Amino acid sequence: MIPGSETMLEARDIRLSFGDFVALDGVSLSFRRGGVTGIVGPNGAGKSTLFNVLGGQVRPQGGAVIYAGQDVSHLPAHRRARRGLTRTFQISRELGALTVLENLMLAFPRQPGEAVLPIFFRKTAVRQAEEEAIEHARALLERVNLWRLADAPAKTLSGGQKKLLELCRALMLEPGFVLLDEPAAGVNPVLVGEIADFIRTLQGEGMSFGIVEHNMDMIAALCDPIHVLAEGRVLTSGTFAEISANAQVTDAYLGGVA
């Protein structure tokens, strides 16, 4: 096998309709282990809906999701997350009244077995787990330059900082694979560069990513391969140079898909 060509996450023939509207019409595509795989396509193409299916937020009417060689189609989102498959959302889901640090602490799962321990040990175990979680959160926030804002209400962050907080929240679970839905949307260009650098660093540490993005600079800088979705179908897949040279792709963005 060619190094880096192994599949980590796969959508197999995903079908999903909202009433009569077919949002995903037999979508099959894969995401590389150790890679950053891109998903692009016009508004309404089905990109976020596909991420909802992959993450376990929405159950499709047909098809399967394979993660790390196992069919996870039947698993709810939190159980996929426990296996290492996490995601961020297009609209940041920060809890505005809570602080930056509290938002990260919420992502930390309670320890299994906590409830059955005797009360004295339970308190010790909970405190220890909490201390570990705070340490982990601090390390993450330092990496993205948000530690100085740890006690600020999340609603006071800029759009880009909220995106970073959302990414850190996904990273609290120490995932193997992260789906990012528009990590650059509404973010100033300097911070877009920082987010891209952070993703590349995490990739270097062995993490794999799937990214939906309209920002083509970010897609070009990070992603290979790139899958193009249009009207609920995979139009084509390839490198950035390949999809850019594809007339069908240009047509799809201009609304000209037949």
Question: Where along the sequence are the contacts to ligand ATP (CB under 6 A)?
Answer: 18, 21, 23, 41, 43-49, 90
CB of 48 vs Mg ion, minimal distance in Å: 3
Q: Which residue in 8, 23, 36, 48 binds Mg ion (CB under 5 A)? A: 48
The residue among 47 and 227 lying less far from ligand ATP, judged by its C-beta, is: 47
User: Which residue lies nearer to Mg ion by CB, 45 or 191?
Assistant: 45
Cβ 40 to ligand ATP shortest distance, Å: 9
**Angle ∠(38,48,202) on CA atoms, nearest 5:** 45
Asked whether the beta carbons of 160 and 189 are under 8 A apart, the reply is: no
Least CB distance to Mg ion at residue 34 (A): 25
Indicate the residue whose CB is closest to Mg ion: 48
Q: Which stretch binds Mg ion (CB under 5 A): 19-27, 86-94, 113-121, 229-237?
A: 86-94
Which residues are CB-neighbours of 240 under 8 A, at least 6 positions away?
38, 216, 219, 220, 223, 224, 226
Nearest residue (CB) to ligand ATP, 111 versus 248: 248
Helix (H, G, I), strand (E, B) or coil at 73: coil
| Residues in CB range of 44: below 8 A, 6 or more apart | none
Q: Is 10 left (phi over 0), alpha (psi -120 to 50) or beta?
A: beta
Q: Give the residue with the Cβ less far from Mg ion, 14 or 104.
A: 14
Number of helices and strands in the chain (H, E): 9, 10
The nearest distance, CB 45 to ligand ATP, in angstroms, is 4
Q: How far apart are CA 90 and CA 213, in angstroms?
A: 9
Cβ closest to ligand ATP, residue 45 vs residue 72: 45
Beta strands in 19-84 (DSSP E): 21-32, 36-40, 62-67, 70-71
Under the criterion CB under 5 A, does residue 215 sit at the interface with Mg ion? Answer: no
**124-129 LR contacts (CB < 8 Å, sep 24+):** none
Shortest CB 180 distance to ligand ATP, Å: 13
Torsion of CA 161, 126, 82, 16, to 10 degrees: -70
Site for Mg ion in 231-250 (CB under 5 A): none
Q: How far is the CB of 30 from ligand ATP (least distance, A)?
A: 19
- Tell me whether residue 48 or residue 103 sits nearer to Mg ion (CB atom): 48
Of 53, 48, 93, nearest to 75 by C-alpha is: 53
Considering the complex, state which of residue 44 and residue 109 has its C-beta at the smaller distance from ligand ATP: 44
Q: Which does 120 bind (CB under 5 to 8 A by kind): ligand ATP, Mg ion, none?
A: none
Binding residues for Mg ion, per CB under 5 A?
A: 47-48, 90
